[in-house]
Every structure is written in C-alpha cells, then in structure tokens.
Structure 1
Amino acid sequence: MIKMYGIKNCDTIKRAGKFLEDQGVDFEFIDFRQTPIDIQTLQSFIDGVGWDKLINKRSTTYRNLNDNEKQNITLALTLKNPTLIKRPVLVTKEGVSVGFDKVLYQRLV
C-alpha cells in the first residue's frame, strides 16, 4: 500500500493526490497534523532521502526557526514542527520520495 504524508491544505498534496486518483492508484493519506508521525517513521524518511531533501527550507516554519535551529535540525525539532518536512512524502515498496514528480508518480501506475 502506498502512503502519502503531508497536510491536507497543501496545494502540492492536492495536486499529487489528484494525480494518483486520476491514475487509479490506491493510496493512504496521512495528515501530519491529525496523525503525528512517530520517530521511527521520520527516521525512515531520513534514511530514504536524507535531511537535505526532507527539510523544506522555503517553508514558513523553517524561516521562523532561529539560526541555531536551522543549523541543527533534529528529530525532536522536526517531530515538533512536522511542516518542516517537504511535501508530499510518498512511501512505496520501492522506497521513499519527497515532492511531487509526475515522472516518478507515473512509474507507480
């Protein structure tokens, strides 16, 4: 089962979800705000794509961090502020991907 993590009011999540639905792909959507992720799930994201790809440095949440926090992103800080995570995070049997990429998503159908 494919899992998509993000927040429901995110435009990229909406586009990615619509694309998957239009292609007839079954997936489960997990909203970070309604169902907070656990440390093991977050670690699997990091293991899959690395901190650099996982953290959304253009987000308001990231911009509101102080300089020390920006230099030292931790599991605890990210769990406390899940909107630091670039969206969507897609977990498939092939692994973890971040962001909406039509080419990658088309390989799923």
Structure 2
Amino acid sequence: MIKFYGYKRCSTSRSAEKWLHEHDVDVDFQDLVEQPPKKEDLVNWMTAHQDRGLRYFFNTHGMDYRKLHLKDQLPDMTIDEAAEMMSKNGKLIKRPLVIDGDKLTCGFNEDVYKDTWLSKRA
C-alpha cells in the first residue's frame, strides 16, 4: 500500500489525499509532524532519488526552514545530515511525501500524480 506522509492542517496534504481518494488510490496516512519518517528511510529515499536534489525534499516555504536558514546550508548538506534533521522535525519535509516501493513524490502536482500514481497500476 502507498504510504502517505501528510499533515492534517496542511491544505496541500488535504488536497493531495482527496485527489488520490477520488481516483481510487488507497493510502496509509501518517502524520509527518507527529510521527516523522525514520532517518534510515529518509536516507534511502533521498539516496534513491538524489537526482532530484535535497531541496526537493525540504518544505522550503515553511517557517522552520526559514528560521534555521537552511537555504544557506543546503548546498553543503549531506543526505545523512538532511535525514537527521527531517527525522526530528517533520515540518521540514515537503508535504505530502508519498512513497510506494521505488515511486516517490513530494508536494502535490496533479500531472505528476497522474503519471506516478495512476499509470501502470496493478
């Protein structure tokens, strides 16, 4: 089953979850603020999708991101350092983070969701 890391108070998470349900895609919801993904999982995902860059995984519009001045730190940050931070503060993760096997998306874009979550479904 598709794992959906979202935040109930986030309108983007709510829109993405609603879109998936409207397209008959079942997800297992986990609140990424109350229970962020494990560091090991984040390292694996960021490593497998490192072609997207670390910025792809960060909630660059979030208050915590700005407060910690991560924009300046990002160019020199390692995957391990990023995963450590995100595993302790889920608000740093771009939401929703949706994962199923080797497929992963951050944020919500209908075209990306169609291509990723609707194509070649079993």
Distance 1:11 1:56 in 2: 14
1:85-104 to 2 correspondence within 5 Å? 85-104=93-112
Distance 1:25 1:11 in 2: 19
Query: Residues 36 and 88 of structure 2 are in contact (CA less than 8 Å); yes or no, is this contact kept in structure 1?
Result: no
Q: Which residue of 1 aligns with 2:40?
A: 40
62, 66, 89: which one pairs with 1:63? 66
Task: Report the Cα distance in structure 1 between the residues aligned to 2:19 and 2:63, rounded to whole angstroms.
Answer: 26
Contact kept? 1:5, 1:30, Cα under 8 Å? yes
Q: Where do 4+ consecutive residues of structure 1 move more than 4 Å? A: none
Where in structure 2 are there 5+ consecutive unaligned residues? Answer: none
* SS of residue in 1 equivalent to 2:28: strand
TM-score, length basis structure 2: 0.76
- Higher share in helix: 2
How many pairs were matched up? 108
Q: In structure 2, what is the Cα distance between the partners aligned to 1:13 and 1:59? A: 14
Change (3 A) 1:15 1:79: same
Are 1:17 and 2:17 counterparts? yes
Unaligned runs of 5+ in 1: none
Q: Is it true that 1:53 corresponds to 2:56 in the alignment?
A: yes
Q: TM-score, normalised on structure 1?
A: 0.84
Residues 64-107 of structure 1 show CA distances to partners (whole Å, capped at 9, x for unaligned) of 1146x951652322222211111111112442111111112223
Say which is worse superposed, 10-19 or 86-95, in terms of deviation: 86-95
Distance 1:61 1:86 in 2: 12
- Give the whole-Å Cα distance in 1 for the aligned partners of 2:4 and 2:35: 12
TM-align CA RMSD: 2.1
Tell me whether 1:4 sits opposite 2:4 in the alignment: yes
